[in-house]
Amino acid sequence: MRAYRDQYAEIFNSGRGVVVIAISADPVEELASWARDEEFPHLFASDQDTGVGKMYGALASRPGLTNRNLFVVGPDGKIAYRAVPFREIDPMAYKELGEAVKKLLPVEAAGEP
């Protein structure tokens, strides 16, 4: 999450034309406190009952835990990019994510002529 925050402008077009939602099985209060303390620029959603995690195949083999998966959903509601699992320690993973997001941006939001 800190890498997303630190590279937000580059990966997520500073939020122009992009909505980033991090979904976690953690309680709302914990997520809100963490987001505030770390000054994350994106949204968080709590999935305590793991319904979303189940739908996206993000549940780990141990109960209550989720895998670090990443999905980019296009304006049409379809998954346009997936990283299952997301390789958070690999700098190339962030470059690939940024490229996937940029492909979905309208030309004017992407800052291109």
Q: What is the pLDDT of residues 48-102, one digit of tens each?
A: 998 988 888 887 777 656 678 888 988 888 889 988 888 889 999 999 999 999 9
Q: Give the single-character DSSP code of 66.
A: B
Q: What is the mean pLDDT of the chain?
A: 87
Residue 81 within a domain: yes
* pLDDT surpasses 90 at 27: yes
Which residue, among 69, 73, 27, 66, has the nearest Cα to 46 in the 3D structure? 27
Residue 9 within a domain: yes
Question: Rounded mean pLDDT of 30-44?
Answer: 93
Count the domains in the chain: 1
Residue 110 within a domain: no
* pLDDT surpasses 90 at 39: yes
- Distance between CA atoms of residues 47 and 96, nearest Å: 26
Residue 76 within a domain: yes
For the domain that residue 99 is a member of, what is the CATH number? 3.40.30.10
Where does 60-108 have alpha helices with state H?
91-104
Query: Which of 38-42, 59-63, 105-109 reaches the highest mean pLDDT?
Result: 38-42
